[in-house]
Structure 1
Amino acid sequence: MFLAIDRGLSNVDFFLKDNNEEKFWVEDNAKFVNEHDLLRYIDSLTSSLPISKVGLSGGKSKTILSDNSIWEYTSEIDAFCIGAKKIYGFERGLVISCGTGTACAFADKGINSHLGGIANGGGFIHAFHKHFLNYSNIKKIHQLAANGNASNVDLLITEAVGNLGDLDPKLTAVNFGKLKDSNSYLDSDVSQAVMKMVGESIGTVAALYAHILGVTDVYLTGRTAQYPSVRNGIDSILATAKLSSVFIKESAKANVIGVMESLENYESNN
């Protein structure tokens, strides 16, 4: 029995596998006030279940590695690249990990290269809604954004300059541009605009890396990629660049799936 753990900044994902039986679950990172709390939680699992190997990745997870020989570490870049390859079945591709922040990597056969990233992601979305719109529950945040219209607060290209080459005139020219001279807005419009802005930022950096690497598909992982307004923002930019995003719901678990794959590969090679 193997236990894979991805310690993110917002969530901690767990994946327990025993032959063909699999169990996934997630805990809020706030549950673990410090590293000792997480270690105690893991120890409770290893002491009550016949776990032979523990794999760990994400955030500062390397700092809590035990001296116990059953522990194995997988870098965050390797984790989401290996997980994406397992889920999507590609051998060479650009992977964008959309989590609390956003990381970009190039997976080419057995080599996973970190390209860079941006600070925009789910962390910004949650913090903005909590402190400026007084929404903390993620389901309610989604509902709020779904009822909004970002074009009521964003200035679009068609409104700013008319036509601009081959660009979609409905793309954003200035985020929150209409609020420069107005104090009237709906929270739902602002919510959707924030989501869309994060998506457009992710889409822009993904498009740049895709053109540099000469690829046309962008493989998305992470929970933030599940947010509809974020995905719309990503896809609007990629479509303009004649690129496509690839995303399925399971890819939100790409990191912890990658850790499990690393554990199994380690065992088979040793």
Structure 2
Amino acid sequence: MLKLGVDFGLSNTDVVLVENNQILAHETLKTGPASPEALSRVLHHLNVQSSELGAIASAGGLSRHLPDTFEGLPVEKISEAQAVGRGALALSGLTEALVVSAGTGTAMIAARGTEAQHFTGSAVGGGTLLGLSRLLLGTSDPLEVARLAEAGNPSGVDSTLVDVIGGGIGHLPPDATAVNFGRLVEGANPSREDLAAGLVTLVGQVIAMIAINAAQAAGLPQIVIVGHLPDLKPMRQAFERVWYFYQIEPRPLIPHLSGLATAYGAALCA
């Protein structure tokens, strides 16, 4: 049976076509109004007819605006936590994990088998990165922000431990961040590249540190990060620096097609 999973997020609409729990096709579109017309557009992009489907499942904050049926098929509305949890475990091949859904904002889900519950989260996410980038860099294009960040150095804007206390502390090395954007207080005049690197570091560190503490509190040794924020290479590197500095084992996973986790999970729940 073919199943369509759709995640109507604030920034992106992710769609997957699933058969026998395997992803056959997928697409990521810019989010517009959640409507029958949007579903028709999705099917057009996937080159599939509604008559070929056995189920339609939707998740995401905007999916509540969808009708209960579409061209004779029920539209199942799956809770965000269930969709994120199921999709992340399926993509990672795990049976349980603290799932970090890093999108426009950040939600953290305690996922165990077919059960998933919202555990905690943060208002800091991709929307934070792009909003501050528009203010400080004059762009909210994620690819441009990533390009700038790769060419920059966060120490151009961040105070490090060696700056503040003269060296490392505990297992943290001297070059670990002590104060995000601390150098700006001293009157530093950083480049756009260093500002971008500092913004990516700030967002990445906030998400990673909350994830570490949440996983410990939930009793889940493995962290899985999904969503579209990890699509940006500098963001993945920011996460990795936190795992390295805090010696996190097992290392958190970012599975292939991580941005599709919610749509995939919705289809699996259908």
TM over 0.5: yes
For residues 67 and 241 of structure 2, the distance between their equivalents in structure 1, rounded to whole angstroms, comes to 41
Q: Which runs of 4+ in 1 moved over 6 A?
A: none
Aligned position for 1:132: 136
Is the 2:16–2:26 Cα contact (8 Å) retained in structure 1? Answer: yes
1:166 aligns with 2:168: no
Tell me the CA shift for residue 67 of structure 1: 4.6
Q: Does 1:150 align with 2:131?
A: no
Structure 1: which 5+ runs fail to align?
Answer: 264-270
1:137–1:21 distance in 2 versus 1, CA, 3 Å: closer
Deviations along 1:54-88, one digit per CA (max 9) or x if unpaired, are 11001131242425652111111111110111111
SS at match of 1:93: strand
Q: 1:191 to 1:54 in 2, by over 3 A?
A: same
Q: SS in structure 1 opposite 2:97?
A: strand
CA RMSD of superposed structures (Å): 2.1
Q: CA deviation at 1:232?
A: 2.5
Q: CA deviation at 1:18?
A: 5.4
Match of 2:200 in 1: 195
Cα deviation, 1:136-155, whole Å, max 9, x if unaligned, reads 33222211111001111100
Aligned twin of 1:232: 237
Question: Matched residue of 1:16: which SS?
Answer: strand
Amino acid aligned to 1:170: D
**Selected match of 1:208 from 213, 221, 240:** 213
Measure, in 2, the Cα distance between the counterparts of 1:254 and 1:116: 18
Q: State percent identity of aligned pairs.
A: 26
8 Å CA contact 1:207–1:237 kept in 2: the answer is no
Instruction: Tell me the TM-score normalized by structure 2.
Output: 0.88
What secondary structure, in the 3-state scheme, does the structure 2 residue paired with 1:42 have?
helix
Question: What does the per-residue CA deviation read over 1:191-234, in whole Å, with 9 as the maximum and x for residues that have no partner?
Answer: 01100110100111011012223333211101102222222222
Partner of 1:27: 29
How many matched pairs?
258
Instruction: Please give the residue correspondences for 1:249-260 in structure 2 after superposition, counting only pairs within 5 Å.
Output: 249-260=256-267
Please, which runs of 5 or more residues in structure 2 have no aligned partner?
A: none
Normalised by the size of structure 1, how large is the TM-score?
Answer: 0.88
The equivalent of 1:42 in structure 2 is 39
Give 2:3's aligned residue: 2
